[in-house]
Amino acid sequence: MNLLLFIVVIGASFVVVRIGAVALQLTGLEWSLAKFQALSCFTGTGFTTRESELITASPQRRRIASALIILGHAGLVTLIATFANSLRPNTLLPQFTIPFLHLVFPSSFLPWINLTIIVIAVYIIYRVLLHSRLGRGLTAFLQRKIISKRVVSQVSFEELLVATGGYGVSQIGVCDRSPVLNKTLLEAGLRQRGVTVLVVERKGQVFPNPSADTKIILGDKLICFGRLEDIRGNVCVIAA
């Protein structure tokens, strides 16, 4: 029973980390970074000071990270307890009523058999959930569910660089609720708020160093420089 519970908890942990990674990605993090941050929060290993600002500066990401940390601590306690009990003799094979089983597998061998089963199960779960068509399908399914259930508010920007003092470069997709939609750069007043638009990308065309009379329309992608907090507050919509 302990062995089965251990395998179930391992599988559930992989799924929880994947849910956290998908949720972080929907808030604007690049996928590989979202996966790393979700795993870091769940295992309690933390993340670098430079990258921590990406999490702490966003209310949505803080909530996701907090949930992962709490679930990770609960899961770790369960894993340790079930793993220790799984390696005790007479925890798995003696429950099966196979004739002469005790002659084939002595009691002292049972912990090693359980350990082998655990290693194989973890490897299979890892390959299936992370490196297979099933894993990709699971990720796409989780994305649809999280968006449809409005668990997090999707943010269409990707933070490309974090510099000292919270400054960085961000690529932002202009959505239908953006405060700068259908305004010129002059009307939007971004420069007065500490945000500089470096590039406007529109339908495959790139307009570097756009002029003040450049109008921002739906679907534009803006590459901006400034404090990341100022960019989020003045260019895109993030739920508090």
| Residue where one domain finishes, among candidates 94, 119, 148 | 148
Residue 75: per-residue pLDDT: 78
| Its pTM surpasses 0.85 | no
Q: Read off the pLDDT of residues 148-159 as tens digits, 9 standing for 90 and up.
A: 777 666 655 555
How many structural domains does the chain have? 2
Q: Give the tens place of pLDDT for each residue, 93-136.
A: 444 444 444 555 566 666 677 778 778 877 887 777 666 677 77
Are 222 and 132 contained in the same domain? Answer: no
Does residue 170 sit in the same domain as residue 133? no
| pLDDT given at position 163 | 52
Give burial (CB, 10 Å; 0-12/13-18/19+) of 89: middle
- The parent domain of residue 100 ranges over 2-148
| Ranges under pLDDT 70 in the chain | 1-3, 46-51, 53, 57, 83-84, 86-111, 129-132, 151-165, 236-240
Structure tokens at 185: 């750069």
Instruction: Classify residue 240: in a domain, yes or no.
Output: no
